[in-house]
Amino acid sequence: QEFNVTAHPAIKAFMCGSLSGTCSTLLFQPLDLVKTRLQTLHSNMKPGSSRVGMVTMLRSVVRTEKLLGLWKGISPSFVRTIPGVGIYFSTYYSLKQHFFQEGRPGALDAVLLGGGARTVAGVFMLPVTVIKTRFECGRYSYQSVTGALRSVCRTEGPAALFSGLMATLLRDVPFSGIYVMFYSQTKASLPKEISSSSSAPLANFGCGVMAGILASLITQPADVVKTQVQVNPQLRTAEAIRIIYMEHKLQGFFRGAVPRALRRTMMAAMAWTVYEQMMAQMGLKS
């Protein structure tokens, strides 16, 4: 309790972000696993054959790996998300306090704040992101996060832990920037009686859902490329783009769009809602 009182505001933002990330990751991990499986599915089906969709993949995972198989990769997801979301929100809070102590950030300012915070968190947590993607794709038999990190360093070299860095940043930085812009602008347009009422958290969550859908669809192609590079570290970003297009045409860049949009939208909306409520409880302006 004494720590909470005397802690630096950025540390409080880190704690709030970490807790919100823990809740959202536990709830929506199955959607991330299905998204990764769809994106790494190399099918030899002939043209005209039925496509594998989100529901089919869900059933397949449950049938072959039981219900808990939907939470495969939860360990690296926690290792990445708990500190990662904390780093994101503490960086966001620090940048906002440093550059916008007075007044509300505009649309472009919100893009820069969200993108800057995501860049810091994304680079710092990329090795765990690589391991998480490999856990979820089902091609690797890692037993633990630390074991996977050691295995990759030993067999592929430390550089493999940063595979897909460019694709990851091309996905996450625009997503965060676009999300924060839409979220902040939509929330600011709410009537004052709603913003100050007890239903404000629900209204903010609705704003987050709208912002998440738009940001997810815009950045989906970069997510597909990122997944391919991290699962196949011998591929370069440009080569992965070429292969995806040659095998699946433009629709290949939107594989896994539905589960990713659902997961990213709900996770972001929940994370921001929990973060803002906790910051308000601590007497801090988020």
The residue with tokens 């009422």 is: 197
pLDDT of 6? 53
Q: Which domains does the chain have, with CATH numbers?
A: 2-281 (1.50.40.10)
C-alpha angle with apex 150: 146 to 153, nearest 5 degrees? 140
Predicted structure pTM score = 0.74
Q: Provide CB contacts within 8 A for 61, sequence distance 6+.
A: 33, 34, 37, 69, 70
Q: What is the pLDDT of residues 123-138, one digit of tens each?
A: 999 998 888 888 887 7
pLDDT over threshold 50, residue 48: no
What DSSP assignment string belongs to 115-136?
A: HHHHHHHHHHHHHHHHHHHHHH
Mean pLDDT of the chain: 85
pLDDT over threshold 60, residue 42: no
What DSSP assignment string belongs to 247-282?
A: HHTGGGGGTTHHHHHHHHHHHHHHHHHHHHHHHHHT
Q: What is the pLDDT of residues 89-105, one digit of tens each?
A: 999 999 998 888 766 78
d(CA 38, CA 199): 37
Nearest to 275 by CA among 114, 90, 34, 27: 90
d(CA 3, CA 12): 10
122: pLDDT confidence band, cut at 50, 70 and 90?
A: very high
Show the DSSP H helices in 40-144 as ranges.
Answer: 54-65, 74-99, 107-137
pLDDT over threshold 60, residue 2: no
d(CA 7, CA 1): 10
Nearest to 37 by CA among 64, 19, 16: 64
141: helix, coil or strand? Answer: coil
pLDDT over threshold 60, residue 5: no
Cα 179 from chain centroid?
Answer: 12
d(CA 150, CA 39): 26
d(CA 284, CA 102): 14
d(CA 38, CA 34): 6
